[in-house]
Amino acid sequence: MAGGLGLRELGGTGLKISSLGFGGSPLGNLFGSVKEEDAIASVHEAARLGINFFDVSPYYGDTLAETVLGKALKSIPIPREDYVLSTKCGRYGSGFDFSAERVTKSVDESLQRLNVTYVDLIHCHDIEFGSLDQIVTETVPALQKLKDAGKVRHIGISGLPLNAFRYVLDRVPKGSVEVVLSYCHYSLNDTSLLEIVPYLQEKGIGIISASPLSMGLLSGQTPPEWHPAPSELKVACNKAIEVCKAQGKSIAKLALQYAMRNHDIATTLVGMNSIEQVQENVKAAIEVEQGAKYDEELLKEVEKVLQPVKNLTWSSGRDEN
């Protein structure tokens, strides 16, 4: 593998996954408009530099991200068995539907858009917006049938509230759900994912942590308008950006390296939409892999600014979840 990006085990799945993963939501224009050729070039560059994990969802850009990723995968410079492809079901441009019928159809549609015969991971997308009991009794069993049919290799769940993971994992048959995809809970401003790491490890669940730049709050650019963070958090992140800027440093690099330091997390998924971002992030990730010294002074200053909003989050999903 070029460049020295490490591979880590994803729980008990047997998958070996690059420590930095390619987040596909920007391909659906969630962070501003991206030209298709740039999106495809970013995917190819990521593969060339050793990223073997690509995550997407039919929800991103109302199927656009899957379609664009599918075009990129047609000519990706690595064989199908050498990359790990993850998509989701249950959340769509039109709303949520975790019924067996819809998710079964949804996987077929995703495979078509992605130009593949199977996906390695299928996540129930943002479970807190559905009935968690339905996820347990209907969605996961439907996905297991697709697993038996060879269309999906492993089943995961994604969402914001960490308790929703516990609710589902405590109730599904052992080994059925093998992965969680958590987001915005392991970054400079929020490390609450750590609270459930021992629980997940005890169950042998693979941990994917997404959004190390807190969905754009720590990218150094203006976050998207839809960003759900309370203004207090946005203001504090802006202050942190200013601290870095004043020293000519990149908050994105600091935030990514901070997130990647934890080896209990199999992979950190970052949304990327240009060759430059891919190159910058892979470089930063390799520094972490090689044990390079961090900018501890800058980290301390930034952590001080973010301390008043540490672990501050927002509500997501149904009240009962």
Residues 24-43 that bind ligand NAD (CB under 6 A): 24-26, 31
Q: Are 269 and 21 in contact (CB under 8 A)?
A: yes
> Based on CB atoms, which residue is closest to ligand NAD, 161 or 220?
220
CB-count exposure of residue 131 (10 Å: 0-12, 13-18, 19+): middle
We find the least distance from the C-beta atom of residue 28 to ligand NAD, in angstroms, to be: 9
Q: Considering all CA atoms of the chain, what is the largest pairwise distance in Å, rounded to the nearest integer?
A: 55
Residues 171-210 that bind ligand NAD (CB under 6 A): 181, 183, 210
Place of tokens 């989701």: 88
Give Cα separations from 234 to 191, 227, 257 (angstroms). 17, 9, 21
We find the least distance from the C-beta atom of residue 213 to ligand NAD, in angstroms, to be: 3
What does the alpha-carbon distance between residue 307 and residue 321 come to, in Å, rounded to a whole number?
27
**Binding segment for ligand NAD among 22-30, 134-142, 231-239, 303-311 (CB under 6 A)?**
22-30
Other Cβ atoms within 10 Å of 145 Cβ, number: 12
Residues 152-171 that bind ligand NAD (CB under 6 A): 158
What does the alpha-carbon distance between residue 244 and residue 251 come to, in Å, rounded to a whole number?
6
Active-site residue flag, 60: yes
We find the least distance from the C-beta atom of residue 258 to ligand NAD, in angstroms, to be: 12
Count of chain residues binding ligand NAD (CB under 6 A) = 30
Q: Are 317 and 90 in contact (CB under 8 A)?
A: no
CB-count exposure of residue 238 (10 Å: 0-12, 13-18, 19+): middle
Residues 96-155 that bind ligand NAD (CB under 6 A): 125-126
> Based on CB atoms, which residue is closest to ligand NAD, 26 or 149?
26
Residue nearest to ligand NAD (CB): 271
Residues 212-231 that bind ligand NAD (CB under 6 A): 212-216, 219-221
Residue 87 near ligand NAD by CB under 6 A = no
We find the least distance from the C-beta atom of residue 3 to ligand NAD, in angstroms, to be: 16
Amino acid at site 183: Y
Nearest to 178 by CA among 211, 208, 210, 212: 208
Binding mask 261-300 for ligand NAD (x = CB under 6 A): --------xxxxx---x--xx-------------------
Place of tokens 């405590």: 170
We find the least distance from the C-beta atom of residue 171 to ligand NAD, in angstroms, to be: 20
Collapsed DSSP state (helix, strand, coil) of residue 304: helix
Catalytic residue among 59, 60, 167, 183: 60
What does the alpha-carbon distance between residue 132 and residue 205 come to, in Å, rounded to a whole number?
18
Task: List active site positions.
Answer: 60
What is the binding site for ligand NAD (CB under 6 A)? 23-26, 31, 55, 125-126, 158, 181, 183, 210-216, 219-221, 252, 269-273, 277, 280-281
